[in-house]
């Protein structure tokens, strides 16, 4: 029992001594950094945000974003940089465009047109 308590104490002390991996001077910057990491996905891991992923790609992206947030780069500039390098696939919620609406509504329009054609071709 003593060994278990000793191990638990060592673990707790080790956690207390460990500093933040990405230290910020201001809480607002830390919050913005966290929000950015949640908005973008790791391209190596399937359906994981940069915050959740432990892949090398995610670690590099976290370091890159940390530096950008420390330098005061705006969220819009960071987003533009990421979209330019990696495309819309890096965003957890990809930006919507007119193409998306066409893709989502095309089956409905095709079904309506097919129904109209079949209705007109049936004898009365």
pLDDT for position 18: 44
Please give the pLDDT value at position 26: 85
Rounded Cα distance between 94 and 90, Å, is 8
Domain 25-95 adopts which CATH fold? Helicase, Ruva Protein; domain 3 (1.10.8)
Phi first, then psi: what are they for 37, rounded to 5°? Answer: -65, -30
* pLDDT tens-place values along the chain, 124 residues long: 777 777 666 667 554 554 467 888 889 999 999 999 999 999 898 889 999 999 999 999 999 999 999 999 999 999 999 999 998 888 888 777 777 788 888 999 999 999 999 999 888 7
* The total number of residues written for the chain in this structure: 124
CA 77/CA 30 separation, integer angstroms: 17
| Residue 63: predicted pLDDT | 93
Helical ranges in the chain per DSSP H: 2-17, 27-39, 56-70, 75-86, 98-121
- How far is the C-alpha of 112 from the C-alpha of 20, rounded, in Å? 58
Strand partners, 49: 41
Read off the DSSP letter of residue 124. -
Q: Is the pTM higher than 0.75?
A: no
CB-side neighbour CA atoms (13 Å) of 87: 2
């Amino acid at each position: 029992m003593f060994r278990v308590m000793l191990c638990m104490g060592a673990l707790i002390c080790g956690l207390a001594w460990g500093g933040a991996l990405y230290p910020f001077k201001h809480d607002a910057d830390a919050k913005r950094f966290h929000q950015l990491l949640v908005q973008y996905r790791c391209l190596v891991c399937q359906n994981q945000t940069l915050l959740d992923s432990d892949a090398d790609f995610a670690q590099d992206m976290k370091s890159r974003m940390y530096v950008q947030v420390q330098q005061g780069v705006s969220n819009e500039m960071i987003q533009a940089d990421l979209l330019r390098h990696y495309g819309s696939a890096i965003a957890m919620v990809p930006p919507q465009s007119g193409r998306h609406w066409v893709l989502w509504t095309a089956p409905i329009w095709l079904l309506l047109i097919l129904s109209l054609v079949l209705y007109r071709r049936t004898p009365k």
